[in-house]
Amino acid sequence: MMHPPVGIIGSIVLLAIPFVVGHNHGPNHLAARHEHGHQYTMHGPVIADPTLSINGIPFSTRAHWMRVANAALAELESPCSFSAFATAIVNHTAPGLGELVCIGVNANSKTGNPTLHGEIAAITNCTAVMTDPDGPFRFTPSKAQAAFKQLSLYTNAESCPMCASAIRWSGFREYIYGTSIDALIEQGWGQIRIPSISVFEQSFDLPTQARLIGGLLTNETDPLFFWQFNPDFPCPEGCARVSGTCKPST
């Protein structure tokens, strides 16, 4: 059960995101991947290695929740969904691994709503879960809104600027992503080329701050996004090529 929100979560005070400006090696330069899948871009601000225990949460726990986000594809859509953007929202103030509040996946094609990206879908789902009068939380709207301040959002690909802005407006404690916008662009995805850290840097006037953690478990998130425009790339697990696209194999 998610505890009622308070101004300070336990003994952790939310801090502004630290960053260090790296050397510019050109717009397409990418350094080698970390053994756990972390990708560093050296043409802009550098964010912390996601394998570190940040905010007291170990890498193994972070990896668990990113896998929950990935698994939301099969649960809500398809293991080989073309728009494989998926999100899990977690309460890390709960004991153990934490508590899953909700999941969401990109629902553009299902609903016809072009703004219903995975993060927006998950935020909408969490609001419904927390305010459900018959649900586990039964929060008032104002209490649900305040509760986001103690939640962490895991998404398997870096948020577009619309979703990154929604994350900041929601007041999340943490935002953790897998595959980067740079990697998506390299693989043929159309993207608005504004990285999340730029949105975060320009949102310091908002009443809450959030920790940004990027490049988590990219060895598992990248394959979900690398097959769509590359016919030689393997399909995700549980999928096979059918007429040029990946379809469930079972």
**Is the pLDDT at 24 greater than 80, yes or no?**
no
In this structure, is residue 119 part of a structural domain? yes
Please give the pLDDT value at position 46: 82
In this structure, is residue 18 part of a structural domain? no
Question: Could you give the C-alpha distances from 39 to 32, 120, 183, in angstroms and in order?
Answer: 7, 25, 9
| Number of Cα atoms under 13 Å in the Cβ half of residue 231 | 4
Q: Which residues of 82-103 are buried (b: 16+ CB within 10 A; e: fewer)?
A: ebbbbbbbbbbbeeeebbbbbb
CA distance 31 to 138: 47
| Number of Cα atoms under 13 Å in the Cβ half of residue 162 | 11
In this structure, is residue 169 part of a structural domain? yes
pLDDT bracket for residue 36 (50, 70, 90): very low
Please give the pLDDT value at position 37: 43
State the average pLDDT for the chain.
86
178, 155 Cβ separation under 8 angstroms = yes
Please give the pLDDT value at position 84: 98
What residues have CB less than 8 Å from 225, skipping those under 6 apart?
84, 157, 179, 183, 184, 187, 189
CA distance 162 to 114: 11
Q: Which domain holds residue 127?
A: 37-248
In this structure, is residue 125 part of a structural domain? yes
Domain count of the fold of the chain: 1
Please give the pLDDT value at position 152: 98
pTM comes to 0.83
pLDDT bracket for residue 44 (50, 70, 90): low
CA distance 218 to 209: 25
Does 218 or 2 have the greater pLDDT score? 218
**Is the pLDDT at 192 greater than 80, yes or no?**
yes
The span from the first CA to the last CA of the chain, in angstroms, equals 36
pLDDT digits (tens, 9 = 90+) for 45-62: 788 899 999 999 999 999
In this structure, is residue 241 part of a structural domain? yes
pLDDT bracket for residue 111 (50, 70, 90): very high
In this structure, is residue 1 part of a structural domain? no
Please give the pLDDT value at position 47: 86
Please give the pLDDT value at position 2: 53
In this structure, is residue 11 part of a structural domain? no
Q: CATH number, domain at 59?
A: 3.40.140.10
**Is the pLDDT at 18 greater than 50, yes or no?**
no
In this structure, is residue 2 part of a structural domain? no
**Is the pLDDT at 82 greater than 70, yes or no?**
yes
**Is the pLDDT at 141 greater than 80, yes or no?**
yes
